[in-house]
A = this chain, B = another copy of it.
């Protein structure tokens, strides 16, 4: 019978990151991978992570690549080794903020398109939508500024 209440602080931290990611709408396993890399601080292979986190290699593969596309992690290789190693990106702030910024910008874009199709009679509704779009656009810009500030 396995321990029901884990007191291992490392496991605890990894699990916290899993829940954190899940709360943000990302797969829980992606969070656990990030937490594990944060604890180890060195490149880890897929097989390593799969056994450490007790999940399938397929899941690790998928989620590690997900993290890579989001700019939180990067794929590295070691000479004379066929394994894929992943390691933390030292300064993930830029990626995080730019992802959010891009989301807002695309939302603004789609809303603008839908707003343009509304008939002229709905002038007030169109104005309300444009105000919201404006806020999204400004926020996206503001994040870019913040990126520059934080990376200086």
Contact = CB atoms under 8 A, between A and B. Distances in A.
A111 B24 contact: no
* Dominant secondary structure at the A interface: helix
A138 B151 CA distance: 12
A114 B25 contact: no
Contact of A9 (B40, B41, B117, B135): B117
Given A20-B110, A24-B25, A41-B128, A12 B117 contact: yes
Range for the number of chain A residues in contact with chain B: 35 or more
Given A25-B25, A41-B125, A16 B132 contact: no
Interface string A110-145: 110011011100101100110010010011001000
Interface of A: 9-10, 12-13, 16, 20, 23-25, 38-41, 88, 92-93, 97, 103, 107, 110-111, 114-115, 117-119, 122, 124-125, 128-129, 132, 135, 138-139, 142, 146, 149-150
